[in-house]
């Protein structure tokens, strides 16, 4: 465990309130990291952080909004002064309400265009925004 210790490291997890996000948060906290649980809803993110124990925080953040992620980055830098780990986990994970229609709706030729646009924005551009925005903390040009 010492070899993999994240003591005194600050880790951000996006999509922290989701199925895998909460697991990422718990694993990072167990390894000693100070976790920033980031998801769309600040209250829900706060609840995840509270469950992890003291030293962790929850923040409301939208990975598709550079203004939102810059505000969060500033909050983290003000509080911890560093960011060591980024887990780009936020995603639109399609759940088709009607299992009987799911196979049909999820085919490319039937997939709704607005859902495609939303998924692309979160699942692809969101990763880029986070990498560019967080990298900026270390002197990169960043986005926005």
Q: Which residues bind ligand NAD (CB under 6 A)?
A: 14-15, 17-21, 39-40, 61-64, 89-93, 122, 126
Return the number of the residue (5 or 67) whose C-beta is nearest ligand NAD. 67
Q: How far is CA 83 from CA 36, 53, 113, in A?
A: 10, 19, 36
Q: What Rg, from alpha-carbon coordinates, does the chain have?
A: 17
* CA 58 centroid distance within chain: 11
> Helix H segments across the chain?
19-30, 42-52, 66-79, 99-105, 113-119, 126-135
Choose between 5 and 74: whose C-beta lies nearer to ligand NAD: 74
Give me the least distance between CB of 44 and ligand NAD, in Å please: 8
Beta bridge partners of 121: none
CB of 139 to ligand NAD, least distance (A): 25
The residue with its CB nearest to ligand NAD is 18
State the minimum distance, in angstroms, from the CB of residue 136 to ligand NAD: 18
Nearest approach in angstroms of CB 15 to ligand NAD is 3
C-beta neighbour count of 98 within 10 angstroms: 8
Judged by beta carbon, residue 5 or residue 124, the one nearer ligand NAD is 124
The residues with which 29 forms a beta bridge, in sequence order, are: none
In the numeric block, which tokens belong to residue 95? Answer: 């759940």
Report the residue number, 8 or 128, with the smaller CB distance to ligand NAD: 128
Minimum distance of ligand NAD from residue 126's CB (angstroms): 6
């Amino acid at each position: 465990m010492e070899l993999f210790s994240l003591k005194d490291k600050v880790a951000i997890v996006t999509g922290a309130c989701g199925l895998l996000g909460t697991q990422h948060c718990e694993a990072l906290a167990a390894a000693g990291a100070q976790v920033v649980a980031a998801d769309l809803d600040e209250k829900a993110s706060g609840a995840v952080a509270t469950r992890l124990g003291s030293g962790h925080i929850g923040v409301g953040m939208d990975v598709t909004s550079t203004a939102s992620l810059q505000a969060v980055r500033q909050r983290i830098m003000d509080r911890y002064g560093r960011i060591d780990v980024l887990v780009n986990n936020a995603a639109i994970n399609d759940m088709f309400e009607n299992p009987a229609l799911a196979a049909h709706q999820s085919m490319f030729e039937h997939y709704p265009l607005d859902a495609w646009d939303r998924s692309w924005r979160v699942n692809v551009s969101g990763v880029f925004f986070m990498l560019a925005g967080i990298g900026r903390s270390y002197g990169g040009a960043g986005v926005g």
